[in-house]
Every structure is written in C-alpha cells, then in structure tokens.
Amino acid sequence: MHKKKIPAAAKNASPASHAGASQAAQLLQKALLVHQAGNLADAAAIYQQILAIDARHFEALQFLGMIRRSTGQLQEALDLLTLAASIKPANTIIHASLGNVLMDLERHADAIVSYDRFLSAMPDFAEVLNNKANALSALGREAEAMACYEHVLRQQPDFSDAHFNRGNLYMDMRQYAQALADYEHVLRSHPGHFQSWNNRGNALLKLERLPEARQSYQQGLSIAPDNPELHACLAHAYKITGQLNEAVQHYAKVLELTTVGFPRQNAALQLAILHYVFGNQANVDALLHVAKDMLGNALIKDKGSLIYCAFMLKIQLWWQIYRQQAQNPQAQGTLYVIGESHILSAHNLPVTYQGQHLQCKGLWIEGCTQWQIGKVETNHYQQLMRHYLQALPVASSVLITIGEIDCRIDSGILKASKKSANTGTTDAHNTPNISLAQRVQDVIVAFLDFIVAHARLCQLKLIISGVPAYFINENGYTGDQLQEFGQFLTLFNASLKQQVAERGLDFLDVFTLTDGGGGKSNQQWHIDEHHLRPDGIIEAFSRHLLTS
C-alpha cells in the first residue's frame, strides 16, 4: 500500500483568511452533497480543494479520512483522522472514526484508547462498545470483551452485530452452544446474513452435529454462492466425514474464487493431500507449488496446515528419489492403513507382511486421537473409523496408526494429566485426577476396545502401530521436561504393546525403531518432528513387527 503522509506544513498551517474560509464553507456544502450521493471520488477531490485552502480544516480532514478508509487507503486515513483529532480533541465522533481505522490496521490497543475517548462522553453508545469489544477480543482479553458485549446487549438486546461478534468470542472460548444461540439470534432477524450461516455451521461442527453443519453451510451458499469461506468450510465438513469427492469439489471452488492468500494456499494443500490419497500424482506437485507459499508467513496461525504442507513437500521429494532407485515385486494384496496424518507416510508403500508383498492404501481420519476413538460420546472420528472398518473386504489386513497426537509434549494425555494434577479436578477429557499411568491405560483400553469390536465383524487382521520417539525442537524446554516427555513416551508404548498383546493383535513397534535412548529419536527415521519417513515404516515391518 502506498503511504501518503500529511506534510508537516499542514500540521502547523495558519487558519485560512476570511475569504478563504467562506470559499471553504461553500465547497464543504458541495462536497457533503456529493459524498451523500455516494460519489466518493468527486467528494474526495473537493475535500482536497478545501485542504488546499485550509490544511487544518476539521471537516475536510474528517470526511476525506473516512473516504480513504472506505477505499482501503488506511495509512492516509489514519494520518488525516489523527490530525483532525488533534485539532478538535473534544469532538466525540472523530475518536470513533480513528478507532475504526486503527482496528483495520490491527492496532487493537490503540483502537481501544480511541474508543474509550468516545465512550467517556457517550458510555452507552452500542456501536462503539461493540467495536471496543472486538478489539479486546482480538487481544485475547476475553472477560473484558464479554463484559463489553453484554453491556451493548443490555442497551440494545436485538443488536445483531453484537450477537454475531459475541458468538465469535464464544467460539474462541470453546463455548459452542452459546455461540450457536447467538448466531441463530442474528438469523431470526437477518436470514440473509450468510456469515452467520457459516459460523453457525462451525458451531454445529464443534458440537458434532455434522449433518446440520453441512446444511448451514449450504444455506449460506444459497445466499452467497461465490463465498470462498463457505466453500472451504463445507469442504472441510465433507472431508472429516469421509465424503472426499464432495470435499474436492468445494476446495476446487475455493481455488477458482481466490487468487492469493492463505485460503487459496490451504485449499491447494487440502486438494494435494486428497489427490495424493486418490493416487492422482500428476495433480499433487502443481497444487503443492501453490500451497507452499504459506510456509515462512509469520501471520499464518494455522499450525496444522503449516505442518501438513511441509510434510507433504518432504513426502513428495522422498517418493521422487525412491522411484528412481527401488524395484519392488508385484503386490499380492492390500494393507489398509487407517489413521491421521501418519497414513500419508505409508500410503502406496510396498511392505512385506505374513510372507506377502502388500501395497499400503491409506484411509485418512484427520486429527484423530486414541482418546477421541475411545470416548463414550459418539463423534465423527468414531463414525468414520467404524465406516472404514466395516467397508473393508472380509479378512483384510489393517494397520491402525493413531496415537501420536495423544502423545505430544504440549498437548494430549501428558498436558491433560498435568492440568488435572495442578487443579485437583477433572480436565478437558472429563477425567478425574488419577495417575499418569492409569490415564494412559484408560485411554488405550477404550481405544482398543472400540477398534477390536468393530474389526471383529469383518474378521479383520489388525496391526496396531506404536508412537515414535520424540524428534522435537528442544529449544524452550528444560532438561527435566524433555526427560519427563521421554519417560511418558516409554510408558505409553509399553502400555500399548501390553494391551495389544493381551488382545492377540500384532504390534508395529516404531518406538523401538526410533528410540535412541530415553525416548529421544535416534535421528534415523523421522521425516519431520511428527512423522516417519516411508522407508522407516518398511524397516519397522522388516525388523520391529511383533506378531501375536
């Protein structure tokens, strides 16, 4: 954006002469009529004529600043409005306008200062209270933001913007039922508000009401058929329920509707993964070429997409090298691999199992954890797992590779156990304050019971994968924390191995494969912090498969 500064001379200019002031007043009346008619370019030109007469003309600075904001010239708008506010600091409205530009520039703390100056004179003005709450929410000051929204809604119970924005805050706070209620309040009075249909779908998704979520996105698309966010959200809803062809259609629509930015890059990434799973290798490289622009962008907060993108680029490079070197025997059958992102390391890989040369076929359940599969409450992870297991040919061999997300240093079982121990209460997993070993066993037992019960129906031969040793960036962690993490991974894999053996299942011991001592990676088989190289899986089948 080209930034234009108000010349220093303008800041110190003397008021216009009497004749000049009269001319400026006449021009202002003309400019306001043109402005109110919606002709912004002509209005801006007249305001500039006024400023040529009187560089400190308050109204011309104010209204030209508002026009510059509306046309995206934010820095010039800020300069104009800041000068106007310095000329008439007692003017209430100018502080609200200045706060809005500061919000656009993501200078949220400065915006709050401006809004507070306005609110000191008009403390119950709903729109400015709403905007201040948005700024507080952007800064993570959730309690203050919530109080602000509630102040607004006490004054104006049907103020839709406040309901919508409070719904967004409830989403950030993981209070999805309350968020849903706010979005539905908006839609009762504004059924054409497609953003509320979109966000309502997001809340329903979090509440595991997936058919309703899809319907909400589709309703939004009936209003705004070319909205990329709605297409992306609907694509995601299809993807996590295994409706991959439908997901492809909507991610492709996002690509069609966007030219730059993270939404386009992420749609390309998701399409690359889906085409990789489908075996459409010709499409993968071109899509990753679009997606890779997200890497190195510090403004992107979607850590999961960044991990997937870097991982897919490394997988593609590995396959390019492998295909040039390897000569594999004809596959005699299929080894189905069900799990989260780790299935991508195994997909299409040739392995030897029970004396047969098998080709792996990945079945993706994004973000799946053992804890989710073992939950009492039904969820989409369980539903998709059940669908995959029951759709396989009778007596198929199946590798289950789920558990690594449960076993991260900053999330999953270890974090939940620490939180519970610190508070002495139940945690996000609704698990009482029990020992770490008991917690690990409870998660594993519930997970395996679900898998075995549904695999038994089709007489499937199950192989359960362990979790690799850690290969994380150790910066930011103390030696004690890393030692504790290594001990946890050792405990988890030992418990999983024991429970698998008691059920008569096979165990792929990728922990022993990767452990260099103390749960830390031997740095031989990882492709990144979370995943194994494909040849690591081949090696595990060759040397670290424990059969029942």
- The residue among 403, 416, 408, 488 whose CA lies nearest residue 451 is 403
| pLDDT for position 155 | 92
Beginning with the edge strand found earlier in the chain, give each strand of the sheet holding 350-353 in spatial order: 350-353, 356-364, 333-339, 397-401, 461-465, 506-508, 545-546
Which pLDDT band, with edges at 50, 70 and 90, does 531 fall under?
A: very high
Residue ranges matching CATH 1.25.40 in the chain = 226-327
Band of pLDDT at residue 323, cut at 50, 70 and 90: confident
DSSP code string of 363-375:
EE-TT--HHHHH-
Residue 8, pLDDT > 70, answer no
Separation in Å, CA 74 to CA 41, 42, 63, 97, 193:
16, 19, 14, 12, 26
Tens of pLDDT along 370-427?
A: 999 999 999 999 999 999 999 999 999 999 999 999 999 999 999 998 887 776 555 4
Do 137 and 165 form a contact (C-beta atoms < 8 A)? yes
SS3 (DSSP) at 13 = coil
Q: Is the pLDDT of residue 7 over 60?
A: no
Q: Are strands 333-339 and 350-353 parallel, antiparallel or unpaired?
A: unpaired
CA distance 363 to 377: 23
pLDDT of residue 301: 86
State the burial class of residue 430 (Cβ atoms within 10 Å of its Cβ: 0-12, 13-18, 19+): exposed
- Its CATH class, for the domain covering 226-327, is mainly alpha
Is pLDDT at 10 greater than 70 in this prediction?
A: no
Instruction: Quickly state the pLDDT bin for 463 (edges 50, 70, 90).
Output: very high
User: Is 60 exceeded by the pLDDT of residue 451?
Assistant: yes
Residue 420 pLDDT: 78
pLDDT at 3: 41
Per-residue confidence (pLDDT) for residue 9, from 0 to 100: 43
**204-223: per-residue pLDDT in tens?**
999 999 999 999 999 999 99
What value does the mean pLDDT take over residues 151-165? 96
Residue 227 has which token pair?
Answer: 């909205």
Work out the pLDDT band at 168, boundaries 50, 70, 90: very high
| CA pair distance 191, 176, nearest whole angstrom | 20
| Fold of the CATH domain 332-546 | Rossmann fold (3.40.50)
pLDDT reported for residue 430? 55
Residue 456 has pLDDT above 70, yes or no: yes
- Where exactly does CATH 3.40.50.1110 map onto the chain? 332-546
pLDDT tens digit string along 257-312? 999 999 999 999 999 999 999 988 889 999 999 999 999 888 898 999 999 999 99
What is the chain's Cα-based Rg? 29
Q: Determine the pLDDT at residue 2.
A: 38
Dihedral, CA atoms, 74, 79, 85, 87, nearest 10 degrees? -150
List beta partners, residue 470.
520
| Amino acid 272: pLDDT | 97
Distance CA 163, CA 173 (A): 15
Handedness of CA 86, 88, 90, 91 (dihedral sign): negative
Predicted confidence at residue 434, as pLDDT, reads 85
State residue 421's pLDDT score: 73
Is a pLDDT exceeding 50 seen at residue 5? no
Q: 349-368: per-residue pLDDT in tens?
A: 999 999 999 999 999 999 99
Which uninterrupted H or E stretch holds 446? helix 436-455
